[in-house]
Amino acid sequence: MSVVLNFKSHLSELFAQALREVAPDHAGATVLIERPKQASHGDYACNLAMQLAKPLRRPPRDIAKALIAALPESDVIEKLEIAGAGFINVFITTAAKQHVVHGVLQAGAGYGHVHVGGGRKVGVEFVSANPTGPLHVGHGRGAAVGDCLCNVLHAAGWNVTREFYYNDAGVQIDNLTHSVRLRCLGVTPDDPSWPETGYRGDYIADIAQAYLAQESVEADDQHVKASGDVNDAEAIRHFAVAYLRREQDLDLRAFGVNFDVFALESALYTDGKVEETVSKLIASGHTYQQDDALWLRTTDFGDDKDRVMRKSDGSYTYFVPDVAYHLDKWRRGFTRVINEQGADHHSTITRVRAGLQALDVGIPQGWPDYVLHQMVTVLRNGQEVKISKRAGSYVTLRDLIDEVGCDATRYFLAARHPDSQLVFDIDLAKSKSNDNPVYYIQYAHARISAVLALWGGERQALLQAEVGLLDSEYETTLLQKLIDYPQVIENAAQDLAPHLIAFYLKELAADLHSYYNASRFLVDDEGIKRARLALVAAVAQVIRNGLGLLGVSAPEKM
RNA sequence: GCGCCCGUAGCUCAGCUGGAUAGAGUAUUGGUUUCCGAAACCAAGGGUCGUGGGUUCGACUCCCGCCGGGCGCACCA
């Protein structure tokens, strides 16, 4: 007999079979197997009987009885109970659960991986900060959520490409160029002549200084040497963009985030992709000329007003290259694309999707997917740190990494549902104490590592452990938690909700700590010792795997 | 005014395609170390799930109204 570890899908099949027998006319009903909150309700529960009560016009408990009678035999089932209004509670044998220990130890880093993605391609675009300044906390959240999402999707069987798109053309870059040039000329933001749209941060002065010193910069495979010519706006633009991209890239690397593709807006122009998109849109018949501008009738596709494509000065609005960029993604074979952005860019969604629909090239409605994260407020000493972009003062990602460390920063930024606003408490993230969940999880891993080190045996030996000896309440709780892990990955991938990983790990760590405090592992009985060590080694493995998804380290000592 | 997101314990937040007595951390209070790491554990208190309706066997979850907070509503991105 093959070892069953995915009890949920196993039970789902069994109940589907019973359903076909009991109610053949309703064989299409969804068989929902869930984990009850309360242990007394069993390990899994099925609500099928209650769902069928109405269509079958029979009392749910009657149907439950019939379903149980028709349920195929399975040696993982300890017992079945009818409870409440008609729930069928399933208790799994401890013996069946114990297999998970070897399952984890054998699969190692691969434990928890599922194949729902089926190897399909998915392009995930995230951060995509414009090269007009350093990355701030908001970008940090995008980086943490996006990267973790990529890890989760990969673990769920998707073929993931990480992509970063940046605007190196357009009005904001002109403002950047102009700001740097003014700084080169010795004008400061305090000067009355400093333009309203100018960038005021000190980093502008750094760029100006580097430019005048004719420094060289490497960024995104580009090598840019500053000419130092204050009157060469094109040279300044090139240099400033490369300089800031390099800074951002250093921050991202320090944050453990790496991209497969960097896409430049300017390339969409030089490749002719923007022009091609415009021609296609005009040919589609969804455009019109008005007030010296070219408009796209996005209202044909659900937008609340039409949008300008080509401004009266002849240049394009940002959304045209955006559409061109997404057309390019589509052509590169990404039948699935997920864009992770700040919620402040929410308004682009309808526009981009409308543009893609107008192209009429077979892109499905609602493509691409979006994950929007809400704003981040930073707390220091219990006080909100005000962010003023105009004054050029804000909490940079670099500040956070330097001050609270990469692990805690990533954890805090990824551990919340993207939809909810996030309060980043610097003091809490920094605290190396019991109120910091990052260390709580890492500590569980370090504790296990310490025990295994003290034992000093070969890890291989644990593969032969008699897991049948693991039957205390603490142990079965941990076994079930380990069994749950692949389902957590599946849910996180399904809902595009990486924070679920963080919550799962906190629970797993809590169960481990309880077990640890209540038990001894290095006992005289060799069999019991090995069994327990095998269990905690498996827990450590899953903590490592989960923290890996979050991009957080799993230290052996701390 | 319109659109999107949020409102759950004092604070920070979970709550899986509607499921059984709503959870965790923190804070507060009281316990636990001759023993593998106490950055830990155990226990107690703390809630009309913003609010009013609706849908049904069943609603924190779905629908509508209202209240409150955030974000967006450019020929900026």
How many other CB atoms are found less than 10 A from the CB of residue A289? 10
Fill in the amino acid letter for A7. F
Chain A window 431-470, residues with Cβ within 7 A of nucleic strand B: 432-435, 437, 439-440, 443, 446-447, 449-451, 454
State the Cα–Cα distance between residues A437 and A352, nearest whole angstrom: 39
Q: Which residue has the tokens 């490497």?
A: A218
Q: In A368-466, which ranges are continuous DSSP H helix?
A: 397-404, 406-414, 426-430, 437-455
pLDDT digits 0-9 by tens, A391-414: 555 789 999 999 999 999 999 999
Fill in the amino acid letter for A273. K
pLDDT digits 0-9 by tens, A356-375: 999 999 999 899 999 999 99
Contact predicate A414/A498, CB 8 Å: yes
Q: How far is the CA of A349 from the C1' of B61 (A)?
A: 26
A34: which nucleotide lies closest, measuring CA to C1'? B16
pLDDT digits 0-9 by tens, A26-47: 887 888 899 988 888 899 999 9
Q: A121-165+260-373: same fold as A7-92?
A: no
Q: Is there contact between A388 and strand B, defined as CB under 7 Å from any strand atom? A: no
First to last CA, chain A: 43
pLDDT digits 0-9 by tens, A198-230: 998 899 999 999 999 999 999 987 899 999 999
pLDDT digits 0-9 by tens, A535-551: 999 999 999 999 999 99
Compute φ and ψ for A217, nearest 5 degrees: -135, 135
* A545: its two tokens: 């795997």
Contact predicate A535/A467, CB 8 Å: yes
Chain A window 113-152, residues with Cβ within 7 A of nucleic strand B: 130
Q: Which CATH number fits domain A7-92: 3.30.1360.70, 2.60.220.10, 3.40.1160.10, 3.40.50.300?
A: 3.30.1360.70
Q: Which CATH class is domain A121-165+260-373?
A: alpha beta
How many other CB atoms are found less than 10 A from the CB of residue A454? 9
What is the per-residue pLDDT for A1?
41
Chain A window 193-232, residues with Cβ within 7 A of nucleic strand B: none
A372: which nucleotide lies closest, measuring CA to C1'? B5
What's the CATH number for A97-116+434-550? 1.10.730.10
Looking at per-residue pLDDT, the higher value among A1 and A436 belongs to A436
Task: Cite the beta strand spans of A111-220 per DSSP E.
Answer: 121-125, 159-166, 216-219
A319: which nucleotide lies closest, measuring CA to C1'? B77
Residue A447 predicted with pLDDT over 50: yes
What would the mean pLDDT of A469-494 be, rounded to a whole number?
Answer: 95
Residue A97 predicted with pLDDT over 80: yes
What is the per-residue pLDDT for A84?
85
Q: How far is the CA of A450 from the C1' of B34 (A)?
A: 21
Chain A window 161-190, residues with Cβ within 7 A of nucleic strand B: 167, 170-172
State the Cα–Cα distance between residues A242 and A223, nearest whole angstrom: 8
The secondary structure of residue A252, as a DSSP letter, is H
A197: which nucleotide lies closest, measuring CA to C1'? B76
Name the region of A305 (left: φ>0; alpha: ψ -120 to 50; beta: rest).
Answer: beta
Nucleotides of B under 7 A from a protein CB: 2-7, 12-17, 19-27, 35-42, 56-57, 69-77
Q: Is there contact between A16 and strand B, defined as CB under 7 Å from any strand atom? A: no
pLDDT digits 0-9 by tens, A247-302: 999 999 999 999 999 999 999 999 999 999 999 999 999 999 998 999 999 999 98
CA distances from A111 to A541, A543, A551 (A): 8, 11, 17
Compute φ and ψ for A119, nearest 5 degrees: 75, 10
Number of DSSP helices (H) and strands (E) in chain A, helices first: 19, 17
State the Cα–Cα distance between residues A530 and A521, nearest whole angstrom: 8
What is the per-residue pLDDT for A483?
95
Name the region of A254 (left: φ>0; alpha: ψ -120 to 50; beta: rest).
Answer: alpha
State the Cα–Cα distance between residues A162 and A258, nearest whole angstrom: 8
The full set of domain ranges for chain A reads 7-92, 97-116+434-550, 121-165+260-373, 171-254
State the Cα–Cα distance between residues A534 and A467, nearest whole angstrom: 8
Pick the range with the lowest mean pLDDT from A321-335, A432-446, A472-486: A432-446
- Complex ipTM: 0.95
What is the per-residue pLDDT for A439?
92
Q: Is there contact between A341 and strand B, defined as CB under 7 Å from any strand atom? A: no
State the Cα–Cα distance between residues A402 and A432, nearest whole angstrom: 15
Q: How far is the CA of A388 from the C1' of B61 (A)?
A: 38
Nearest to A49 by CA among A91, A74, A84: A84
Q: How far is the CA of A230 from the C1' of B2 (A)?
A: 46
State the Cα–Cα distance between residues A490 and A165, nearest whole angstrom: 28
